[in-house]
Structure 1
Amino acid sequence: AVYLTLFHPLARYPGPLLARFTNLYSAYHAWTGDIHVDIYRCHKRYGDRVRYAPNRLLINTPAAVQDIYSHHAPVKKFQNYRVLAQQAPNTLTMQDKTQHSRRRRVLSQAFSARSLESWEPKIVAQLDRLSQVIRSHLASMSSSEKPTEWTTSLDMARTCKSLPSSVFYPDSFNHLTFDTMTSVSFDSHFDTLRTAEYRYVMEAIAASNIRLSVLLQAQELATANLDSWLFPASIAGRTQFVRFIRGLLGRRLRASGMSGDLFAFLQQCKDPDTGEGLSLTELSTETATFIIAVGSDTTSTTMAAVCHYVTGSPRCYQRLVTEVRSTFASVADIRLGPALNSCVFLRACIDEALRLSPPGGSSLWREIEPGGAWIDGQWLPGGCEVGVGIYSIHHRAADWPDPFHFDPDRWVGESPGRPYMPFSMGARNCIGKPLALAQVMLTMARLFWEFDLRRGDEKDAEEEEKEEEEEEEEEEYVVADHVTAGGHGPMLCFRPRV
């Protein structure tokens, strides 16, 4: 305790008292899911540099973002990321920079513009299904005596409690992205949008991630299987998910002649520098990772956040639907390409939603290489762990005036040139970013073109018009951060336009 208080290299930095002595402070906030918000609160109280654990320093400045996450930063992946690996390291977890670069050179080929065109039909097929489900839900509410214009209020990011398989109910963007990513990755069709049989997988992922988020902060809690006692529901969720993934991979491997999915594509890809491909173990662990990192919480949370903020701002809503509906003449025209790219306000709404409610808002910890490094003008010895809270840097008032206000115009025109890293950055940025953004752009364009949307607590058109004259809502889309983030809502009603 004396060493940690007086002589540790980070002893001079302020922070929560408990955090000076134990990793359990950050582990607690990881468990509650508010670690991203707690990091923000700590910076408000202690300043730009906060000691958040005995050997960890948070820095909330643009310079730190560059010093820690740029391509040639003198840091390596935080060792606790190993808890995210099941049987073999993947691009999210491996520390070895050479191996990481080799694997990324292969994987990145699956997310080029040309490759995205190959995956687009699978994305569009799921959007067709989502549209059918919403329309079926509306039809089930109507009768010849009492036609209905609007659906009942639907929670677009609700917890995935299983419903009877006969219920047509689009109860979350999570189902949409799960169905999309399993189709893209393995050409498998689980139809969780309409049936309940496989919705347990998303429940299992969510439960498992609670334990993982805690172990990322305090790996010592796995000593002597202590985590099994602390997180029995998470262990059960992990077991369910691993069983599902093994079955999915087994079926895909038996269908060896299949083509047209990401798995088959990556089997043919080679490292352009060495000519090496991925081993079967590497291929399996990476494609399984896509389901979690791209297809589960991150993309669906972004969709939910966009809908939350846009429907809470009548002016933004009207501007967005005008842009989308004037750009495309029909649903069939909503495809990747120049027309979709021309929807600059749509992209601005997505970027601003990602700023306000990033789907992973805590710190991506890095370990300083032996020999030490200058980080934000501070010399820190090798072995110290440093990071920037994504939610916190996105709400830094010095860089983002009125930081809690949803203002897509920040992104219209020239790039704001401010610290922004919802997909991380540098050599470790999210490799699936192009696919994730393609999904979000297509989904938002489709929904706002095909349907009128309103908040579920809105009563009628008269109240909707009245709200346009009143001050816009400034309600944050609140997420719980457990490795990736998920929230509740928004509660939306849909009315078909055509």
Structure 2
Amino acid sequence: MTVLYRISPFHPLAAFPGPLINKVTALKLAQVVWSGKRHLMLKNWHEQYGTFVRTGPSTLSINASSAVMPLYASPHSLDKSGAYRPGRFHSGGLFFIRDREDHNKRRRIWAPAFSASSVENMLNVVSKRTLQMLQCMEDRRTKEGLIDMTELLGHWAYDLMADVTFGKASRTELMEDGDPHGVVESAQNATVVFEILGEAPPLFDVLWYLPVTKEVHALDRISRNIMVERKNAPGQEDISAHLLGEQGGERLSDIELDLDATFAIVAGSDTIAGSFTLLMFYLLRDQETYAKLRAELDQQFSLPEEANDWKKLMDLPYLFGVVHEGLRLGTPFPGLPRVVAKGGMMIEGKYIPEDTVVGVPAYVQQTSPENFYPNPMEFRPERWAPEGDGLGPSTVTNKHAIMCFSFGPFSCLGRAFAVREFHLVVAKLVLAFDMRLAPGFDEEKWLDGCLNMRTTVFKHPLMITATARH
């Protein structure tokens, strides 16, 4: 009877088109998430069905920029959906709080950690750790002259965020020691579990005590152990100082501390490493683009150690374009699911009933010709030229369509830090090395092996050659 109702004209979402199997069961969308190609499936579905696609029994994907404000950006934006409920895990972490007002209260505790002065301190850590990565590239080069940038960027990002989160209490040195305990893999696998089972929350409850969720528990233990060390080392300028109330603010409970510390590391390392890996691929695939960036940087700096002024770096137009093209194509995220409030709402002239889970598909928006034209699927930094016509008089570059940091009450507090971080690291890498994709590198195979499940899993390493310039 349930199946018949879901596909019947009496269902509240009967008027919205979509694949039949998706209307019947949420398990189909969970299977699509598992494939790692949900962002591409959503793009195909919207090309086939239009602005609205019914992706599950009670879920809609809405490919319309006009939906961003009411869903995400307005003061009355929607609460998060059950996809953010972490099984039987405590739901008191910043990322997992679904109610907008409750989230705002926690966000006020976090906000000082991303003040202008705090971000400056973080960027000092970025510079230090990135110079270490440059040396690590030399040390890890194989006898054939190849460097696995997928692995190295993962280690760099984790070391960096452990420092930013826990200060000197962090003893994480993956660039130096490798990752014998599989910390990076555990973080990725935990994210994958959350993302897949988030499409079917009741299934998450059933599987919570089974081995499939062991990575979630392992990641929690790692962060909890480091937090114990950090509590005994006060007086540091790190994110934990704000969560522990050392700066005069409210102190989180021990459970909340563990959850938020885990979130800080995963959000700041795994996501950044994945996006940066994709940016490096696109940049090195087009040596003409790479040469333009190198020429711009060489006019301003002689050595990578000199590229520390993020304001100066962000004023470089071609570097700005490279970073933002990397964010546009390097964050293949699906929609950010929200729940329609009581009374329903109108979007694009359509009534959407209460309790419907809705989302605007980020990757679809970021690759839409309505937002980025011409050649929206190509890595073209020129489209971000200050004059606005970098690809000709018909250039369209909708900066507000970059959704990887979300908008409004649930938006990423670390946005300013992340963008500046990208500028610093790209500049130092290009100033330090002449880089190319490895000889015989199969670009199509590598791209096909990029799987996004909120985290980006790379089936094949990004192998490059890098010759020191100085």
TM-score by length of 1: 0.84
Q: Per-residue deviation at 1:490?
A: 2.7
Q: What SS class does the counterpart of residue 285 from structure 1 fall into?
A: helix
Task: Report the equivalent of 2:199.
Answer: 217
Task: Report the equivalent of 2:394.
Answer: none
Task: Report the equivalent of 2:109.
Answer: 106
Matched letter for residue 427 of structure 2: A
Match of 1:286 among 260, 275, 286: 260
Matched letter for residue 205 of structure 1: A
Match of 2:159 among 179, 186, 192: 179
Task: Report the equivalent of 1:38.
Answer: 41
1:3 aligns with 2:5: yes
Task: Report the equivalent of 1:267.
Answer: 244
Mapped partners of 1:84, 1:35: distance in 2: 22
1:278-317 Cα distance to aligned partner (Å, 9 max, x none): 4444344222211111112x10112111111111112210
Matched letter for residue 274 of structure 2: T
Match of 2:93 among 85, 90, 102: 90
Mapped partners of 1:206, 1:80: distance in 2: 17
Task: Report the equivalent of 2:450.
Answer: 479
Matched letter for residue 311 of structure 2: P
Task: Report the equivalent of 2:358.
Answer: 386
Paired residues of 2:113 and 2:238 also in contact (CA < 8 A): no
1:67-94 Cα distance to aligned partner (Å, 9 max, x none): 3211234521112311178434222221
Pair 216,265 (structure 1): closer, same or farther in 2 beyond 3 Å: same
Match of 2:386 among 399, 407, 413: 413
Q: How many residues align?
A: 453
Pair 74,311 (structure 1): closer, same or farther in 2 beyond 3 Å: closer
Q: Per-residue deviation at 1:12?
A: 1.1
Task: Report the equivalent of 1:155.
Answer: 148
Matches within 5 A, 1:14-53: 14-53=17-56
Q: Per-residue deviation at 1:227?
A: 5.7
Mapped partners of 2:113, 2:449: distance in 1: 32
Paired residues of 2:339 and 2:355 also in contact (CA < 8 A): yes
TM-score by length of 2: 0.89
Task: Report the equivalent of 1:295.
Answer: 269
Q: What SS class does the counterpart of residue 34 from structure 2 fall into?
A: helix
Task: Report the equivalent of 2:438.
Answer: 456
**Which ranges in structure 2 are unaligned for 5 or more consecutive residues?**
389-396
Match of 1:195 among 177, 192, 195: 177
1:66 aligns with 2:69: yes
Matches within 5 A, 1:313-462: 313-358=286-331, 361-401=333-373, 402-413=375-386, 416-417=397-398, 419-457=401-439
Matched letter for residue 433 of structure 2: F
Match of 1:492 among 444, 461, 464: 464
Task: Report the equivalent of 1:312.
Answer: 285
**Which ranges in structure 1 are unaligned for 5 or more consecutive residues?**
142-150, 158-170, 460-471
Paired residues of 1:204 and 1:238 also in contact (CA < 8 A): yes
Q: Per-residue deviation at 1:8?
A: 1.4
Mapped partners of 2:241, 2:17: distance in 1: 51
Q: Per-residue deviation at 1:39?
A: 1.0
Pair 365,175 (structure 1): closer, same or farther in 2 beyond 3 Å: same
1:314-340 Cα distance to aligned partner (Å, 9 max, x none): 221011111122222333321143322
Paired residues of 2:235 and 2:246 also in contact (CA < 8 A): no
Mapped partners of 1:337, 1:315: distance in 2: 25
Identity of aligned residues (%): 27
Matched letter for residue 186 of structure 1: F
Task: Report the equivalent of 2:221.
Answer: 243
Q: Per-residue deviation at 1:475?
A: 8.7
Mapped partners of 1:244, 1:203: distance in 2: 13
